[in-house]
Amino acid sequence: MGKRSGNQLQNAFTTRGVWKVYGEGATEVQALRGVDIDIPAGELVVLLGPSGSGKSTLLNILGGLDRASRGDVLFQGRNLAAMTDVQLTRYRRDHVGFVFQFYNLMPGLTAYENIELVTEIAGNPMPADHALALVGLGDRGDSFPSQLSGGEQQRVAIARAVAKQPNVLFCDEPTGALDSITGRTVLRVLKDINEQLGATVLIVTHAAATADMADRVIHFADGRIRDIQRNAHKRDPSDIEW
Amino acid sequence: MTPLDRKLLRDLWRIKGQAAAIGAVIAVGVLLLVMMSGLVTSLDETRRAYYERYRLADVFAPVKRAPQHLLAELSALPSVAAVEGRITGHALIDLPGLDIPLRARVVSLPEFHAPRLNGFYLSAGRAPQSDRNDEILLLKGFAEAHSLQPGDTLDITMNGARHKLRIVGLAQAPEFLYTTAPGELMSDDARYGVIWISMQTLAAAYDLEGAFNEALLSIGRGAQSPAVIHAVDRLLEPYGGFGAYALADHGSNRFISEEIASLRATAAAVPPIFLAVAAFLLYIVIFRMVEAERGQIGLLKAFGYSNLETAAHYFKLILAIAAGGATVGCVLGVLAGRALIDLYLLYFKFPFLIFQLDPGSFIAAFSVSIGAASAGGVTVLRRVFRLTPAAAMQPIAPPHYRPLGNVARSLQSVLDQPSRMVVRRLTRQPGRMAGAAGGIAAGMALSVAMIGIMNGFNQAIDLTFNVIDQSDVSITFNEPLSDTTLANLRSIPGVIAVQPARHVSAVLRHGVQRHLGVISGMTTNARLYRAVDSRMAPVPLQAQGIVLAEALADILKVQVGDLLTLEVREGRRPTLRIPVTGIAQNLLGSPAYMELSALNHALGEPNRISGAYLRVDSAHQNSVYRVLKDMPAVASVSLKQDARTALQTQMDRGAGAMRYIMMAVAGIITFGIVYNAARIAYAERARDLASLRVIGFSRSEAAFVLLGELALVTLAALPLGAVLGYYLSFAVAAGFSTDLYQIPATVQPVGYGAAALAVIAAATLSGWLVKRDLDRTDLVLALKARE
Ligand SMILES: Nc1ncnc2c1ncn2[C@@H]1O[C@H](COP(=O)(O)OP(=O)(O)OP(=O)(O)O)[C@@H](O)[C@H]1O
Ligand SMILES: [Mg+2]
């Protein structure tokens, strides 16, 4: 409903000619090779593509964690590429939620504190235990990451990103380590954030079936967009095949 | 509490051993700073107040005999504020039960008023009445050393005549803060006294009716004492002025000034060493921590934490350790200061001395230790902040494998796997290993230097009392006597050898340098008391020339061959131009030596002596002392053994006691550095070691990898520490030396051995502590932890 009441026509992200080159000379890797993309505000977008095709790289650049080597990245009309470090920090703090491919929990903090770390500095967060309950870990708040399984750590990472109630949410393989039941629960949480808060959600995944719940599916290959497809009928997470 | 603060507490707890070691090093530095600057403030302030309250003179002008009316002329001199003329002299106190009489200084009290200058503090009894010429005040320290009280009477010999005088009060005075018998450097309450007595009595005793033999002057604020001294000298010249001198050259004041100056220098030089070491250790700890937490820092930044907020987190850790150490240091510094200040009272006779804090030292202690510690943290953080969050979150690329050289390759083939791991790490991170070895070497150097100083103190005593002075007794006469007296002395049963001496006071000048001192005339081939060079060989005295102690040569900035001007203040008061023919090694005082007959010739008084050194058969020493005591010409008798004991006592207390503190401190530093090196090596390898265990290596093999590295680093540090220690000992010796005594830097092989043992002990203890942790680690947790 938030999505419909917002300005539907405005793009959350617009990129033009975005390149990302790692290293130089013989070891040079072109991770992104001219990415042009428009992501309308409030949509749930799924990014599909083979390993090494540059998905994480693109997510990092859109999320303000890294800078493009070339090209423009506009968020609500403001160019991330031209921002200072301080402005980028502000952008991440005020707008972005991130679920990392490798969870990246702080080992010295409990699950609860890992979430607090983000809600502490967010403008409109939900309570940390509420976020934990959403991912089915309401009773594990006092566990340290080393005491959690891989899947549990992944769910804490998702709770952490969601707890902030961000404008844009980036999820790099959010369900990779999850079984079908918890996987569907997590996707449901992402869909709720998208629909109830009107947040723009970008999900990178290898599970093609996840694409069925998206407004838009972007196929990625060799650092470029191969194809964009719109779903006329979005499936509910509970109907998704695992 | 924010989650980051909770992480901080857990981090602190995790590195508690290291944090405590670093905190201890900071605490020691701050302790020394607070204590020493507090002592400086206390001594300085109390001295100032004491001098002011009891109106200590700015200029002292001893003279042979000057008429009273000259005082008016003195007070008419420009910028002179007040003048007092008094009579002072040497006296002997004969206490029942003692073989030799004790020396004392007598000082006159004005008849009808309180002293205008150089007042006294009455600590017991009352002041003598002006019409009673048998009443005296006695110096409190001397009275206490002999359990004398007001009401007791004393047998006092003045100018050869005996008097029975009654003590009516005990006193202390700013000019006698630190009292030494003439010719001695160390204060000994029991062997030197001060007596205040009416002017009339003294005038009669010394044939000085209507005259004075010391003028005291105070000068107006801002006035220059050299100008006044010059004018006073001119005025007193016809009456036998011995040369006026400023308060700065006054014996008691010079001693306390030296003490304050050396404390101040140590306070400025030593604590920074500790703080620098602590900063270095903190730098390593923070460096390693930031490096290990690069990913977490990237993560914090990814969430939108600013550089400042992230830095603040690590800064708080630094702050906790530095401020914790500084707080403990401040508290201990105050306690140590309070304890030490009482030691000072043992030989600086203030009527009161309270430990006063120097508030600046608190501020300095905190800001310096926190600043030094943060400097380390900031440099590392800046490197991480230059990375984008995405890059920071990438695991660090494994360290570069450098192709192995031939030697290393052939080494590899003979070593087993764990030894290879040790070697590989040493060769792969040579910078870090060198840093650890350097740190340990610094700790050892400190120990070496401190042991060297301990030796130096003993050597100073040995040189003074076994090499230079081989007599048993030295005596001085009331007036210079004919050298036929020597035969009389030799004929005393029990006297084995006699060596004549003539001491005259003189001003030594070279260019603008000036020193008021004593010239000792001695015979060539002297045996009992002689000048020796740095190789302990006697320095020959030449008929035309003067031999100076090294310290005096430094003061006057002269070398062998330079011409010196001597203004002799006795006899016909000649002025001589005389070459320096030798430099003598002398660790106490700053004497100058001339050949006896040449000195007498210059004075125009041939065959005169003013004192003698005696060697005495120990079986007859008591009878010898009795004979000496009854010789009217003898002004003083002093025993070498007493002087030696006094020096030993003094060096073991006060400034000398500092060396024990420094020794303890060197130990703390060494342990702090070694333990840190071990901890860091362990933290860096915890995962590798767990992997080793998982693939089947035994506990002791894993420990070998870790401890082998520590052992090699420690071994490498030992020779380096010895070399550094050798040089550091010179610097430390210079710091402990004063104008009054010099401490030589001498590190003996056993010193290096002891320091090396201390380092090895510290390394063993650290190794054991780390191995204990290693044995306790949970393998799975160690592998899972990203660090
Ligand atoms: N820091 C880096 N330095 C050098 N090359 C990099 C770096 N990060 C990524 N790359 C390279 O860039 C390319 C794209 O990487 P990216 O992580 O974006 O792929 P991905 O699509 O997320 O793959 P996956 O599905 O396996 O996560 C890869 O070839 C990768 O090797
Ligand atoms: Mg990826």
Q: How far is A108 from chain B (nearest CA, A)?
A: 6
Q: Among A24, A46, A55, A67, say which to mutate for ligand 1: greatest number of ligand atoms within 8 Å of CB.
A: A55
Output the six-digit token pair for A86.
């301080």
E strand map for A176-215? 200-205
Q: Which of A122, A114, A67, A115 is nearest to A93 (CA)?
A: A122
For residues B76 and B72, give the distance between their C-alpha atoms in angstroms, rounded to a whole number.
6
Using DSSP bridges, classify how beta strands B211-219 and A78-79 pair: parallel, antiparallel or unpaired: unpaired
Chain mean pLDDT for chain B: 84
Tell me which amino acid residue A68 is: A
For residues B188 and B180, give the distance between their C-alpha atoms in angstroms, rounded to a whole number.
7
Q: Which of A140, A134, A136, A93 is nearest to A112 (CA)?
A: A140
DSSP for B41-71, please give it. Answer: HHHHHHHHHHHHHTT--SEEEEEEEEETTHH
**For ligand 1, which residues put their CB under 6 angstroms from it?**
A 22-23, 29, 31, 49, 51-57, 101; B 394
pLDDT tens for each residue of B706-737: 888 888 888 999 999 999 888 888 887 777 77
Tell me which amino acid residue B545 is: G
Output the six-digit token pair for B725.
């220690």
- pLDDT (average), residues B426-438: 78
pLDDT tens for each residue of B232-291: 999 998 998 888 889 988 888 988 888 888 788 878 877 777 777 777 777 777 777 787
E strand map for B113-203? 121-125, 135-139, 153-158, 161-172, 192-198
- pLDDT (average), residues B458-470: 84
Predicted confidence at residue B96, as pLDDT, reads 87
CA distances (Å), origin B441, targets B637, B666, B677, B724, B747: 51, 12, 12, 7, 16
> Is B401's pLDDT higher than 60?
no
Q: How far is A116 from chain B (nearest CA, A)?
A: 6
CA of A41 to the centre of ligand 2 (A): 23
For residues B255 and B588, give the distance between their C-alpha atoms in angstroms, rounded to a whole number.
13
pTM: 0.74
> Is B485's pLDDT higher than 60?
yes
Residue A23 C-beta-side C-alpha neighbours within 13 Å: 7
Sign of the Cα torsion B235, B239, B242, B245 reads negative
Lowest-confidence range among B438-442, B743-747, B751-755? B743-747
CA of A29 to the centre of ligand 1 (A): 9
Measured between CB atoms, does A86 come within 8 Å of chain B?
A: yes
Predicted confidence at residue B513, as pLDDT, reads 83
Searching chain A, which residue's CA lies closest to the CA of residue B306?
Answer: A89
Which 3-state string (H, E, C) describes B415-439?
CCHHHHHHHHHHHHCHHHHHHHHHH
B306: nearest CB among A89, A104, A113: A89
Note the ligand closest to the C-alpha atom of A47.
Answer: 1
B296: nearest CB among A86, A106, A116: A106
Predicted confidence at residue B5, as pLDDT, reads 92
Lateral strand order in the sheet of A200-205: A96-99, A168-172, A200-205, A44-48, A216-221, A224-230
Residues of B in Cβ contact (< 8 Å) with A93: 303-306
Q: Among B387, B388, B394, say which to mutate for ligand 1: greatest number of ligand atoms within 8 Å of CB.
A: B394
pLDDT tens for each residue of A106-145: 888 999 999 999 998 998 899 999 999 989 999 999 999 9
Q: Among A53, A67, A226, say which to mutate for ligand 1: greatest number of ligand atoms within 8 Å of CB.
A: A53
| Choice between A47 and B353, residue whose per-residue pLDDT is larger | A47
A107-135 in b/e burial notation, b at 16+ Cβ within 10 A? bbbbbbbbbbbbbbbbeebbebbebbebb
pLDDT tier at A5, thresholds 50, 70, 90? very low
pLDDT tier at A1, thresholds 50, 70, 90? very low
Q: Which of B503, B509, B506, B526 is nearest to B517 (CA)?
A: B506
Q: Which of B377, B366, B363, B300 is nearest to B327 (CA)?
A: B366
Q: What are phi and psi of A164, to 5 degrees?
A: -75, -15
| Choice between B760 and B428, residue whose per-residue pLDDT is larger | B760
Predicted confidence at residue A4, as pLDDT, reads 40
Predicted confidence at residue B787, as pLDDT, reads 38
Q: Give the angle B167-B170-B175 at the CA atoms, nearest 5°.
A: 120
Lowest-confidence range among A21-25, A228-232, B265-269, B764-768? B265-269
Listed by start position, the domains of chain B span 14-58+255-394, 61-220+228-246, 417-470+644-787, 495-616
* Cβ-defined contact of A108 to B10 (cutoff 8 Å): yes
Predicted confidence at residue B49, as pLDDT, reads 92
Count CB-CB contacts under 10 A for residue B782.
Answer: 19
> Is B669's pLDDT higher than 50?
yes
Predicted confidence at residue B570, as pLDDT, reads 77
Chain mean pLDDT for chain A: 89
Do the beta carbons of residue B102 and residue B154 sit within 8 Å?
no
Q: In the block, which residue shows the tokens 């001693």?
A: B255
Predicted confidence at residue A6, as pLDDT, reads 41
CA of A51 to the centre of ligand 2 (A): 7
Q: Which fold has domain A41-65+95-236?
A: Rossmann fold (3.40.50)
Measured between CB atoms, does A9 come within 8 Å of chain B?
A: no
DSSP for B137-156, please give it. Answer: EEEHHHHHHTT--TT-EEEE
Using DSSP bridges, classify how beta strands B563-568 and B495-510 pair: parallel, antiparallel or unpaired: antiparallel
Using DSSP bridges, classify how beta strands A96-99 and A168-172 pair: parallel, antiparallel or unpaired: parallel
> Is B73's pLDDT higher than 90?
yes
Predicted confidence at residue A7, as pLDDT, reads 42
* Cβ-defined contact of A89 to B786 (cutoff 8 Å): no
> Is B366's pLDDT higher than 90?
no
- pLDDT (average), residues B67-93: 92
Interface predicted TM-score (ipTM) of this complex, two decimals: 0.89
Lowest-confidence range among A161-170, B64-73, B128-137? B128-137
> Is B656's pLDDT higher than 70?
no
pLDDT tens for each residue of B682-708: 877 777 777 777 777 788 888 888 888
pLDDT tier at B409, thresholds 50, 70, 90? low
Share of chain B above pLDDT 90, in %: 25
- pLDDT (average), residues B651-666: 69
Q: What is the CA radius of gyration of chain B?
A: 34
Count CB-CB contacts under 10 A for residue B417.
Answer: 10
Q: CA-CA-CA-CA torsion for A78, A80, A85, A91, nearest 10 degrees?
A: 60
* SS3 state at B10: helix
A65: nearest CB among B3, B4, B389: B389
Predicted confidence at residue A9, as pLDDT, reads 54
Residues of A in Cβ contact (< 8 Å) with B781: 146
* Cβ-defined contact of A146 to B784 (cutoff 8 Å): yes
The conformation of residue A209, written as its DSSP 8-state character, comes to G
B299: nearest CB among A66, A104, A116: A104
Predicted confidence at residue B436, as pLDDT, reads 79
B185-216 in b/e burial notation, b at 16+ Cβ within 10 A? bbbbbebbbbbbbbbbbbbbbbebeebbbbbb
pLDDT tens for each residue of B37-62: 888 899 899 999 999 999 999 999 99
pLDDT tier at B407, thresholds 50, 70, 90? low
pLDDT tens for each residue of A41-70: 999 999 999 999 999 999 999 999 999 999
For residues A78 and A13, give the distance between their C-alpha atoms in angstroms, rounded to a whole number.
9
Predicted confidence at residue B542, as pLDDT, reads 86
> Is B100's pLDDT higher than 70?
yes
Q: Give the angle B625-B626-B628 at the CA atoms, nearest 5°.
A: 65
Predicted confidence at residue B678, as pLDDT, reads 82
DSSP for B598-642, please give it. Answer: HHHHHHT-TTEEEEEEEEE-GGGHHHHHHHHHT-TTEEEEEEHHH
Q: How far is B316 from chain A (nearest CA, A)?
A: 16
CA distances (Å), origin B81, targets A65, B52, B117, B231, B443: 79, 14, 11, 14, 55
pLDDT tier at B786, thresholds 50, 70, 90? very low
| Choice between B150 and B668, residue whose per-residue pLDDT is larger | B150
CA distances (Å), origin A205, targets A211, A235, B56, B167, B514: 8, 16, 92, 105, 91
- pLDDT (average), residues B197-224: 90
pLDDT tens for each residue of B134-162: 899 999 999 999 999 999 999 998 888 88
Lowest-confidence range among A99-103, B169-173, B332-336, B394-398? B394-398
Listed by start position, the domains of chain A span 41-65+95-236
pLDDT tens for each residue of B587-641: 777 889 999 999 988 888 888 898 999 999 988 888 888 888 788 788 788 888 8
pLDDT tier at B558, thresholds 50, 70, 90? very high
